[in-house]
Amino acid sequence: MSETEFPPFLKWGNYHSKDTENPDILKVEVLETETFETEFSTNLRTNVDGIEMNIPLQNFESKNKQLLRKFLEAQKKNKIQVGTKFKIKTWKEPHPTKKGFEIRRFELVF
């Protein structure tokens, strides 16, 4: 990866499903197994639906660490290698404790 060409970051706001039975599905290929941090998030370099981009696994302004935890768990079980292909299913649902708020949920499918 060249210093001048930094891949774009995936924007979770582009995914709107609120249905666990019909979630948004991202096809992911791992390009690097090591995560990296920016000022705003912990990220992973990937191809998403054939486009090179960085996936924010956890935004530092959010308490939702679900995706980062699931990624680290899969990595610990040796499911994450360079070239690994998997799917991320994602949807929003009402927050369990904060009325009027939503929380994004994730499922990793290998």
Indicate the average pLDDT of the chain: 94
Q: What is the mean pLDDT of residues 35-62?
A: 97
Determine how many CB atoms are found less than 10 A away from the CB of residue 66.
17
Query: Which positions ≥6 away from 7 have C-beta within 8 Å?
Result: 1, 45, 52, 53, 54
The helix/strand/coil state of 76 is helix
Q: Domain segments of the chain: what residues?
A: 12-109
Question: Could you give the dihedral angle defined by the CA atoms of residues 18, 19, 25 and 26, in that order, rounded to the nearest 10 degrees?
Answer: 20
105 vs 92: CA distance, rounded Å: 6
Q: Which amino acid is at 57?
A: L
Identify whether the C-beta of residue 107 lies closer than 8 Å to the C-beta of residue 66: no
Its pTM stands at 0.90
Q: Is the pLDDT of residue 4 over 60?
A: no
